[in-house]
Each structure stands twice: as C-alpha cells, then as structure tokens.
Amino acid sequence: MSRSHTKRILTELSAYNSSPPSPSQTGIVSLAPSPSSILSLSAILQCPSSSPPSLGYLGGRWLLSIALPTNYPIGAPIIRFVTKICHPNVKWETGEICLDVLGEKWTPVLGVVGALESIASLVAGGGDETSPLNVDIAKLRGMGDEVGARALVG
C-alpha cells in the first residue's frame, strides 16, 4: 500500500473522529481501524430515526467489517454485516451487501463514511426488492406481506 493510500485512510478516520456525524441521522455509531491493519476497519451502525417503524429495523444495531483494497480509494471498500440482519439486500449467510455504490457506482469522493451512510439509508428505507440477496424477505415485501416480513426481521 502506498503512502498516499495510508494518508487517505488516516485523513478519513481523523475527519470522522474530529466531527462524528449524528448517529440518529446517519446511522453511524462508531468507526475504528483494526489494531493489526489500517486496511481493516469495523463500524457499528444503528437504524436511522427516519426509518418507518413498520419495517422493524428501528432500534437495531449491527457490527460491520470493512476491508479496504490496496488500491483504495480507487477500489471500493468491501463491507459486510457481521451481525445478522434479515434484509432484502443483505445475504443472510455472509453479510454481503447489494448496493450499487459498493460496486459499479463507487466513487472515491464517497469514502468509507459515505458508504456507511448509504448502507444505513438502505436499511432505513427497507431496501430494494428488485435486486435481492435475501429472496425470502424480498418476496414477502413484494407481496405486501409486512406481517410476514416483520416476523423474519424480528
């Protein structure tokens, strides 16, 4: 990893720590590097207060792992839910997230904090049933079965 990549990561972490965004608005509770590698981070997200109570995510908190590729910020971070979450755009078994800004629509301007805000927004809004990684909850929501979907969410 080059010095410019390390500097970028440290700058992002410093900016976050000097003026952390409001968890109730952005969903980001904490963001920290791993003691063993600057390329490994962890974050805690909570469901932003803007989420409709009917979705069942309000009050939820989740641990996420963040792996930064050696070409970061050109390459998108690989972010996964460590804490299980039943969501149309999250693969239950692996925590993989289906979100365009973590793939083809990634831009270095977004950064790790922007990516986490996008994930929190995805959770708060209930997700996109048209490109699900969790087909079961996507089908229930697509059929309008909010009771069944809430039962899966918890």
Active site residue 47: no
The answer to whether 72 and 5 have CB atoms below 8 angstroms apart is yes
Average pLDDT in the chain:
90
The answer to whether 133 and 91 have CB atoms below 8 angstroms apart is yes
CATH code for the domain defined by 3-153: 3.10.110.10
Q: What is the pLDDT of residue 29?
A: 94
Predicted confidence band of residue 128 (pLDDT cuts 50, 70, 90):
confident
How far apart CA 23 and CA 14 sit, in angstroms, is: 17
E strands in 15-104: 28-33, 40-46, 61-67, 78-81
How far apart CA 112 and CA 3 sit, in angstroms, is: 18
List the strands of the sheet with 61-67, edge to edge. 28-33, 40-46, 61-67, 78-81
Each domain of the chain, given as residue ranges in start order, spans: 3-153
How much is the average pLDDT of 116-130?
A: 90
Q: Which of 28, 97, 98, 149 is catalytic?
A: 98
Is pLDDT of 149 > 80? no
Q: What is the pLDDT of residue 154?
A: 64
